[in-house]
Structure 1
Amino acid sequence: MGITSVWAITSHPDPFISDLSPHLLPAMEADRSQPLAQQRWELWQQAPLPDYRTWYRSPGFTAADGAAVESFRELTAPGLNVDDLCSGLVDPDFSAIDDVWADLPGEGMFVSVNSKDYAVRSFFHAIGPARAALLPGWCGNFLLTSAQVRQTLPHVERALAFTPDERSAADAQDWLYYVPRDECVLDGPLRMWRTAAENGLGLCGLAVHVS
């Protein structure tokens, strides 16, 4: 059975962010605070993964290497609590499609839609754990007021600003780089932060399954 995942970052006025808070923030914190999630994060922070093209293919790839990759894959899959909430399983009156993403103008949204893959996984591997640690929220999920957007913008700019050589290396590790229908995961998040900060808007990031 196939899956379709979405990672979307959307901009909203503060009253809308406030309305989303009682729905999304508890689910995001529940996913972040899971002991296994924290263990997987620490493992990745301590031991960044090698070139993804060597995973399971290199003669030197060991069982321990495979366990590290699988841990990272679990870390960067949609969090169960946010995923269930946004699909309407927790509250049939709330879903990401109807209550967060509906009727947004194109410039008010970054979205990456993938079949049998996850944008956050490719994004995190491409930027590496040190840069990922500068980003707010948890594995692509966050809810920020306009003040928090302005406060976190310098950290996001540090995470996603690259020299030409660094950008080339990141592109080489982003296996979604050649998906032509989507804005690159290395570009969309920073665009959204800068635009929201300029316009006094908050941000909502959601990484979920839609089928």
Structure 2
Amino acid sequence: MGFTSAWSISAHDDDFIRALAPRLLPLIAAERDEPFARERWERWRREPLPDFRTWWDPFGQSCPKEADALEAFLELTASGKHVQKMYDGLPPDDFCLLTDVWDLVADAEDIFVSVQSKEYALRSFLHAIGPDRAVLLPGWCGNLLLTSAQVRQRLPAIEQALDFTAEERAKAEDQDWLGYGDEEESVLDGPLRMWRHAAAHARGLCGVSVTIC
């Protein structure tokens, strides 16, 4: 059965970030505290996966040597059930990520979003950059909410994580399996662009990884 996912990072003023905090921050914390979540994260840090082209044999089965590690990584990088509530617009007040966050972004430069069919953009991003860089990112598995001050404070670490030499960039691109059209922004470009944009304009950031259908 197919699905479509979206990973977005959007810039907002601090008043909006503060209003969103009581809704989103507890959901991010719940994802981080989900049973086995930290175990899966630490396992990926200890055992980074090899070239993604080796994950499956010609019959679509995961390679036995790394099957457990691969399954743990796939579970770690799928959209979680808690932050998902932000998209589903559940009662009591039917607040929805689509209408109450994304639709309020008026300028294309204020948002990075990667929509993927039968895949999670966050998964390809994390594999491509690897755990040593990923540990420098705030939030949990692509989900984050930061004020403008926190964005500025974190910018050096983000640049350390996502600014590549030519050789490093080539290696990361080789492990990003998504593929992009002419107007699509790479997961290796969008997050750093958003961070620099938000820092330059005193904006906060909201990041979410969800299944949209």
Q: Hey, what's the Cα distance between the residues in 1 that align with 2:172 and 2:154?
A: 22
Conservation of the 8 A alpha-carbon contact between 1:146 and 1:202: yes
**CA apart distance, 1:91:** 4.3
User: 1:1-211, aligned counterparts within 5 Å?
Assistant: 1-57=1-57, 62-89=63-90, 91-104=92-105, 105-211=107-213
AA paired with 2:127?
H
| Percent of residue pairs bearing the same amino acid type | 55
Q: Hey, what's the Cα distance between the residues in 2 that align with 1:101 and 1:91?
A: 20
Q: Compared with structure 1, are the counterparts of its residues 68 and 189 closer, same or farther at alpha carbon in structure 2 (3 Å cutoff)? A: same
Conservation of the 8 A alpha-carbon contact between 1:8 and 1:206: yes
Conservation of the 8 A alpha-carbon contact between 2:86 and 2:96: yes
TM-score, with normalisation over the residues of structure 1?
A: 0.95
Q: Hey, what's the Cα distance between the residues in 2 that align with 1:200 and 1:153?
A: 12
Structure 1 alignment gaps of length 5 or more:
none
Q: Compared with structure 1, are the counterparts of its residues 93 and 77 closer, same or farther at alpha carbon in structure 2 (3 Å cutoff)? A: same
AA paired with 1:85?
M
TM-score, with normalisation over the residues of structure 2?
A: 0.94
Further displaced range: 102-111 or 119-128: 102-111
Structure 2 alignment gaps of length 5 or more:
none
Query: SS in structure 2 opposite 1:135?
Result: coil
Q: Hey, what's the Cα distance between the residues in 1 that align with 2:63 and 2:9?
A: 36
Q: Hey, what's the Cα distance between the residues in 2 that align with 1:164 and 1:10?
A: 27
**Cα deviation code 1:157-200 (max 9, x no counterpart):** 00001111110000000001444442000000000000000000
Q: Compared with structure 1, are the counterparts of its residues 39 and 180 closer, same or farther at alpha carbon in structure 2 (3 Å cutoff)? A: farther
**Cα deviation code 1:101-133 (max 9, x no counterpart):** 113110100010011100000000000000000
Conservation of the 8 A alpha-carbon contact between 1:40 and 1:71: yes
Q: Hey, what's the Cα distance between the residues in 1 that align with 2:37 and 2:10?
A: 25
Conservation of the 8 A alpha-carbon contact between 1:171 and 1:177: no
Q: Hey, what's the Cα distance between the residues in 2 that align with 1:180 and 1:90?
A: 39
Aligned alpha-carbon RMSD (Å):
1.4
